[in-house]
Amino acid sequence: MSSSTHAGTGTPPPAPPTPSHAVNTPDDTLVQMHKILVPSQTNAFSISLLGGELLKWMDTCACLASERHSKHPSVTASMDDLQFRERVRAGQLVRISAKVTRAFNTSMEVAVKVFLEDPLNSGSVAMCEAYFTFVSLDSQGQKVAIPALVPVSEQDKDQHSLAFERRQIRLDRKTSIEKVAEILQNQAARRSSIDIAPENLSSSRTLLDGSRTVVPAGLTMVESWELVLPQHANHHNTAFGGQIMEWMEMNATVSASRLAKSYPLLASIDDIHFLGPIKVGERIIIRAQVNNSFTTSMEVGVRVDAVSIHDPQPRLVNTAYFTFVAIDGDGKRVKLPPLSVANADERLRHDEAIARRQVRLDRKKIRSEKAELAVHCTEDNLKELCLSNVSNLTILKSTRDWDVLSERDGIQFMTKDVGNTLVVRVECFVSASAGEVYQLLEDMSLRSEWDKLFVSYDTLRKIDSDNDIFHIKMRSPTSLVAGAAQQPPQDFVLLTSRRRPTDFSKHYVIAHRSVIQENMPSVQGYSRGEVGSSGFIITPTGSKGSDKTHIVYLNQFGSSVLSYMSGDMIGVSNMLHNSLVRLREFVSNSNSVKHLQETVLNRMIEQEQHNVDSLSEQCDRLFQPPATLTADLVAAQARLVELKKQRTAIMQIRRV
C-alpha cells in the first residue's frame, strides 16, 4: 500500500491545515518529522543513534517551522545547548516536533523537542530539546523583517514571554564563561610552569603508580577538510547548518576516541553560533581536540573555518564544545585517562573547559524539575537562575494528574510526586484585582499578616527590580500542632523572581527557590531548609479591572520537610488550608490592606529619613564632600520624596 493513501480507503490523506488568518500562531508553524532508526545510523556498538544525524534532523525540522512562519528561506543563526536524556536504539521511532515560540525584528526562536517511541510499547519518552535561532533572507541574501507571532494557548504565552529572557541569556553566556576562564587562567599563572619533554608530546606516558596512561592533548587533534557540494546546501546555495553540525560531531567523535581508546557517546553540546555563511564550492576546515578529561567525561572543542578557492585566507565560521562519555561493550561508562598539556594555548583551553563544565552542571541542576538541593548562586549563572526560577514554576503549574486530597471552602489541596520531591498545590479565588493581589503577595514585609509560620526576613541582595535574594526565618510546622513533638525552626535562603503580565501572558508570577550564598552561613538555633520551585501564579479571571482573581500556590518540598509531611499529610493540608483562608481574607479586605501598607511606608520613611540625616551630617562635616557621598545623599532624598508620595496616595484612597 502506498504511504500517500489512507489505509483501507485508497483516498489521499488530508492536506495539512493552513492558517485562515493573516497573523500566525505558534501552532500554525508546527512541523513534525518521524524517523525510524536503522543500523546504518548507529554507532560502533549499533546501540545508539549518531549524534550528528540527530542534529541534522533537528535543524531541518526547525528550519521548516521557521519558514512556515516567515514565508522566506531561513538559515540557522545559533543553537542553544543540548543535553541528551535517553539513547536512541536501532528499531526505535524518533518523533521531532518544532514550532516558533517568538518572533523578534529579524530573527525568531524555534523550540525543538525530540521524543522516542518504541513499536513494542505504547507511549513516548522525551529524549532532548533545544532552542534554535533562525533569520530569514530575501533573494539578495539580506535579512527580512519577521512577521508578528500571536500566542493563543497559556503554554505558548508563557514560552513567548520567556523567549525574551532566553535571548538575553544567549547574549550574556559567552561573557560569563570568559570571566570564569580568566579567573582560572590567573590562578594557573601563579602555578609552576608546565614542563613536558618534547618526546612526550608524540606519545602517551604512564602514571607513576601504573594506574592510567596520560595522553598528550596534541594526540587527540583531528583536522578534516570538506568540500561544500550542492547536496550540502540550502535555498541560498550556502551550506546547510545541520550538515555543518553533523561534520563537527563526526570529527569531535574521532578526537574523543583517541583519548578514550573506546567508543565515545555524545552526551551534550554547548551553544553553536554561526558567524557567517559558507558558499557551495568553498572548502571548510574542521579541527577538533580534547580540551580536558574528567573522570568519565571529556570536552572536545571544535573549530570550523571556511576557505574560498580564490582567497586562501581562512575565515572563522563557528566554534562549539561537545561533551562525550566512553562506554565499554556492556554499555557501561569507563574511566578516562588524564590529559596533559604542552603549551599556553592548551593550558588556556584546559582551564576554560573546567569553567564550562561548572556552568553545564549548574545549568542542568537549575533546569531540573526533580532537583531538591539548593543551587549555588554565582555571577555566572545568575540570569539563567532567575529565568529558570520563573519557567520551572510555570511548567510545574501546567503539569497534569494531580492527586486531589481535599476541597472545602472553595480551596483545593493537591499533591504530586516529582522525582524525590513532593509538590503541594493549593488554589482558590479571591475578591480582589490581580494587580492588587500581586502587590500584596510580593511584599515580604506583609507576609506575617496571613502566614503564621513566618517570623522575619532580610534582603541579602537586590539583583534588580524583579529579582532578590532573601534570608527568611520560619517557625516549625509542629509549632502550630498542640501536643506534637517540636522540631527546630527553619531558615531559608531564597531567590525570589517576580514577573508581571506581558503583551500576551496575563499571569503575575512570584517564584521562589532555594539557593546557596557563601555570605549566608547556617544560623544558630535554625535548621536550614530547602525548597525547589515554589511561589504564586496569580491570574485575573474576568474582564479588565475585574475584582475576581485565581491564585495557585505551589511548593516543591525536599527531604528537609518530607519526613514531617509524610507523617501528617492531613495536618499539613489543614495548615495550608487555614493559611489560604487567612490570605483570602487579607487580600479581600482592601481597607485593612491600605492601613498595613501605610504602616509599612511610615516605617520605610522613618528609616530613609534617618539615612538622609546621616548623609547630610557627613557632607556638612566636610569642606568638599566626595562626589559619591553627594550622589548618595541626592538619591536618598529622592527616595524619601517618592515614599511620601506613595503614603499620601494611600491615605487619600482610605479617606474615599
End-to-end CA distance of the chain: 77
In the three-class reduction of DSSP (H, G, I as helix; E, B as strand; rest coil), residue 387 is classed as: helix
The closest of 416, 323, 306 to 361, measured between CA atoms, is: 323
- The Cα–Cα gap between 218 and 271 comes to 24
pLDDT in tens, 336-374: 999 999 888 889 889 888 888 877 777 777 666 554 467
98/186: higher pLDDT = 98
Q: Which CATH class is domain 192-367?
A: alpha beta
More confident residue, 439 or 495: 495
| CA geometry: angle 305, 306, 309, nearest 5 deg | 145
Q: Is 50 exceeded by the pLDDT of residue 181?
A: no
Binned at pLDDT 50, 70 and 90, residue 301 comes out as: very high
Which H or E run contains 422? Answer: strand 421-431
Residues 166 and 563: their CA atoms lie apart, in Å, by 37
Are 438 and 508 within 8 A, CB to CB? yes
- Residue 519 grid cell: 555570605
What does the buried/exposed string (b/e) look like for 398-432 if buried means 16 or more CB atoms within 10 Å of the residue's CB? eeeeeeeebeeeebbbbbbebeebbbbbbbbebeb
- Taking the C-alpha atoms of residue 179 and residue 450, their distance in angstroms, rounded to an integer, is 44
Yes or no: say if 424 and 415 are a contact pair by the CB < 8 Å rule.
Answer: yes
For 506-539, what is each residue's pLDDT tens digit? Answer: 889 999 999 888 778 888 889 888 888 899 999 9
- Residue 366, all three cell numbers: 537549575
Give the Cα separation of 411 and 183 in Å (integer): 52
Question: What's the average model confidence in pLDDT over 41-56?
Answer: 66
Phi, psi of 213 (to 5 degrees): -95, 130
Closest to 372 measured CA to CA, from 119, 561, 649? 561
* pLDDT score at 345: 87
Handedness of CA 373, 376, 380, 386 (dihedral sign): positive
Pairing of strands 272-273, 205-206: unpaired
C-alpha span between 133 and 128 (Å, rounded)? 17
Q: What is the pLDDT of residue 407?
A: 87
Query: What pLDDT score was predicted for residue 97?
Result: 95
**Average pLDDT estimate for 376-404:** 84
| pLDDT for residue 85 is more than 80 | no
The model's confidence at residue 13, banded by pLDDT at 50, 70 and 90, is low
Range from 299-303, 363-367, 612-616, 649-653 that averages highest in pLDDT: 299-303
CA angle 205/262/50 to nearest 5° reads: 140
Q: Is the pLDDT of residue 119 over 80?
A: no
Give the DSSP letter of residue 12: P
Residue range 17-36: mean pLDDT, rounded: 77
pLDDT value, residue 5 = 42
Q: How confident is the model at residue 96 (pLDDT cuts 50, 70, 90)?
A: very high
Measure the CA–CA gap between 302 and 288, rounded to whole angstroms. Answer: 4
Cell readout for 456 is: 522575619
Bridge-based pairing state of the strands 339-340 and 124-136:
unpaired
Same fold, 192-367 and 388-588: no
Coil, helix or strand at residue 403: strand
Q: What mean pLDDT comes out for the span 75-94?
A: 78
Give the pLDDT mean for 614-640: 84
Domain boundaries, the chain: 17-150, 192-367, 388-588, 594-655
Q: Closest by alpha carbon to 166, among 217, 198, 130, 140?
A: 130
pLDDT confidence of residue 47: 57
pLDDT interval class at 11 (50, 70, 90):
low
Query: What is the pLDDT at residue 633?
Result: 87
pLDDT category, 248, cuts 50, 70, 90?
very high
Indicate if the pLDDT at residue 257 is higher than 70: yes
pLDDT in tens, 196-219: 333 334 455 554 444 457 889 999
Torsion from C-alpha of 380, 381, 383, 386, nearest 10 degrees: -150
What CATH number should be reported for the domain whose range is 17-150? 3.10.129.10
At 227 the pLDDT is 93
List the beta strands (DSSP E) in 237-350. 263-269, 272-273, 283-293, 297-308, 311-327, 339-340
439 CB-near residues (< 8 Å, 6+ apart): none
The closest alpha carbon to 456, from 475, 440, 441, belongs to 475
- pLDDT, tens digit, for every residue of 537-555? 999 887 665 678 999 999 8
CA distances from 590 to 578, 643, 646 (A): 20, 20, 16
Q: How many CB atoms lie within 10 A of CB 591?
A: 9
Instruction: Output phi, psi for 589, to 5 deg.
Output: -90, 85
- How is residue 233 written as a grid cell? 546546501
On whether the 388-588 domain is CATH 3.40.50.300, my answer is no
Instruction: Take residue 343 and report the three cell numbers written for it.
Output: 603549551
